[in-house]
Structure 1
Amino acid sequence: MTDEVNLSDTSTWLPLDGLAPGFDASKAELSDDLDGRTFTIVDDRGTRITHTFGPGTVSWSYEPGESDPTTATSDTDDCEVIEVDRDLYYAQFPHKSLPNKAVTLILDLRSGHALSVISILGQASLGKTAVQMAFAPSLIEGIETTGEAPAPTNELIGRRVLWVYSNTHAYEHVYLSPHWYTWQCLAGPEQGLADTDANTVWRIRPGIYVFTWREKVIPCGSVTIADHRDQKAIRSHGVLFGWDETGTTPTHFTFGAYGRLISHTTHPVEFDPARPLDR
């Protein structure tokens, strides 16, 4: 009789660096559209961050506004840029001087809006995941501002989506509420594993969303941008950031996935998970 695998024994779950091989098979081709160009984003505190892109790099300069306690600084980091849609770019760069911090920058050159997601890797504690995230909407200097600014959204709630990352890796996501989603591995080294973790979703353009999650078992988090406009051919681009198996070295890698809507649950109004919490 074959020994049954104990899927509930989280001590046997793969570390983040164990998942990496082959997980990036569906990653999009990198874009050089921004090479040689400079963009300055300004948030509501008056903080200005200037980004100059080069082949595989970004040089940035951080000038805090009056209410921003962050120290002024600048550096050059390795950077990957992906074109999500026309005039919409996803830039991902870990800080080499602060290896426990990674930045995702969404630039919408059509609307003049930007969104920065700063992922900070620390240690998990009761009620706190290892990766914490900060979201900073901004405006791009020199581009006329049009349309709606990026903002948190409940538009994914109720959707169940199949995501295929490679010929080996496939997962499904069920978007439960403004705070929670459930994932299940359907194929790959984590097959049979599932959990419910914290998520945050922002709307960037109609049908295009930044979807982030923070896992509690594996010390990692992810920032993705997904185009849901064609629900039979969804496309996403993202990063995973967390500790390696030793728990001492940050692991950071980008990936892509192809998705499709499996089902969509519609709750009665009185039981809508997006309604304010009864407390």
Structure 2
Amino acid sequence: MSNVTPEFIQVGALADGFAPDSLALPRCAELDGQSLRLCFDDDSAADCRLESGGDARVAIVQPGLASSLTDMNGFHASSLRPGVYFVDFRHQGPTAQSLSLILNLAHGRFTLVRGRLPDAAATRICAFDRVERQLELTGVDVEFLHGAVNQPAAAVPPHAPSRELIGMRNRYRYSPTECYEHIYLNDGLYAWHCLEGVERGLADVDRCHYYQVAERLYLFVWREKIIPTLGVILIDLEQMRTDGKIFGYQDGNFGATRNFRVGARASVVNHTRG
């Protein structure tokens, strides 16, 4: 038995650990050169042009939720299934913000995930103080903005919250050296445990969110409370693969962020049905 005490690490160190022989999906060029009108469910809209060089040009047609795209200047797209894309944007706005677009062109709908990391002061509020002040235990904030592609938002239903992962215990192999298990506990919490890798032996229970994107395909988002971390992942239980990204601070001085792509081979260990 090892006597080494597991230690929490910053997201920059996590990214370095995941990098060698990562199973993240390659960049997909299918969206290069395409123009999309993103129509949000508050009746705002934006025209988004995805250039072949990875540039993103956005024009706000109607202000509102669509204005969240105004600082975009680049993107990285990948695809787990035909017609479904994970588009992660680069932007010129605050460095502690993140935008990821889940596009389901087969059904003409999208979800934009907007995340924000807490600053140093908010990160250092202890758990007891957060409880007393009726704050969430995590300082990482997230919004889910829904809409339709090239048609009014009311024309198609949004990606709906899902409970289909709840009760599953899944294992995810991200690289030859990095392996985790997740236990999806209920509508708002999941447990993670590092079996192999730079966080080996670490485990915690954190806030999470689930949406169904297609049949047996789910958007899973988590927000960690100890090290400010946002994870945005697509989980495909048909192909048993995942695709997405992890976002957080490079190190403990809060001066820079790290946004890195991840992907894994998945397996279901067991499923407890309530």
After TM superposition, the score normalised by the length of structure 2 is 0.86
Stretches of structure 1 lacking an aligned partner (at least 5 in a row):
268-279
Residue 103 of structure 1 and its aligned partner are, at CA, apart by 0.9
Aligned length: 257
2:138 is equivalent to residue 132 of structure 1: no
C-alpha distance in 2 between matches for 1:76 and 1:265: 42
Q: Give the residue type in structure 2 aligned to 1:80.
A: H
Q: Cα gap change, 1:188/1:100 in structure 2, threshold over 3 Å: closer, same or farther?
A: same
Structure 1, residues 236-277: CA drift from partner, whole Å, max 9, x if none? 11111111222221111111111111100012xxxxxxxxxx
Q: Give the residue type in structure 1 aligned to 2:255.
A: T
User: Which residue of structure 2 aligns with residue 20 of structure 1?
Assistant: 15
User: Which residue of structure 1 aligns with residue 88 of structure 2?
Assistant: 92
Stretches of structure 2 lacking an aligned partner (at least 5 in a row):
none
C-alpha distance in 2 between matches for 1:202 and 1:80: 21
Q: Give the residue type in structure 2 aligned to 1:256.
A: G
User: Superposition pairs for residues 162-241 of structure 1, below 5 Å?
Assistant: 162-230=171-239, 234-241=240-247
User: Which residue of structure 2 aligns with residue 40 of structure 1?
Assistant: 37
Work out whether residues 130 and 220 of structure 1, in 8 Å CA contact, stay in contact via their aligned partners in 2: no
C-alpha distance in 1 between matches for 2:204 and 2:170: 15
Work out whether residues 62 and 72 of structure 1, in 8 Å CA contact, stay in contact via their aligned partners in 2: no
Q: Give the residue type in structure 2 aligned to 1:160.
A: R
- State which of 93, 103, 106 in structure 2 corresponds to 1:107: 103
Structure 1, residues 174-213: CA drift from partner, whole Å, max 9, x if none? 0000000000000011111100000000001010000000
Q: Give the residue type in structure 1 aligned to 2:56.
A: V
User: Which residue of structure 2 aligns with residue 258 of structure 1?
Assistant: 265
Segment drifting more, 122-131 vs 251-260: 122-131
User: Which residue of structure 2 aligns with residue 277 of structure 1?
Assistant: none
Q: Cα gap change, 1:262/1:3 in structure 2, threshold over 3 Å: closer, same or farther?
A: closer
Work out whether residues 22 and 166 of structure 1, in 8 Å CA contact, stay in contact via their aligned partners in 2: no
Work out whether residues 208 and 222 of structure 2, in 8 Å CA contact, stay in contact via their aligned partners in 1: yes
Q: Cα gap change, 1:69/1:196 in structure 2, threshold over 3 Å: closer, same or farther?
A: closer
Q: Give the residue type in structure 1 aligned to 2:8.
A: W
Structure 1, residues 2-47: CA drift from partner, whole Å, max 9, x if none? 983334xxxx411110111251410111111111111011112111
- State which of 16, 28, 31 in structure 2 corresponds to 1:31: 28
Residue 12 of structure 2 aligns to a residue whose secondary structure is helix
Q: Cα gap change, 1:64/1:101 in structure 2, threshold over 3 Å: closer, same or farther?
A: farther
C-alpha distance in 2 between matches for 1:229 and 1:103: 26
Q: Cα gap change, 1:92/1:106 in structure 2, threshold over 3 Å: closer, same or farther?
A: same
Residue 254 of structure 2 aligns to a residue whose secondary structure is coil
Residue 24 of structure 2 aligns to a residue whose secondary structure is coil
Q: Cα gap change, 1:69/1:200 in structure 2, threshold over 3 Å: closer, same or farther?
A: closer
Q: Cα gap change, 1:163/1:141 in structure 2, threshold over 3 Å: closer, same or farther?
A: same
How many percent of aligned residue pairs carry the same amino acid? 27
RCO higher in 1 or 2 (8 Å CA, sep ≥ 6)?
2
User: Which residue of structure 2 aligns with residue 52 of structure 1?
Assistant: 49
Residue 102 of structure 2 aligns to a residue whose secondary structure is strand
After TM superposition, the score normalised by the length of structure 1 is 0.85
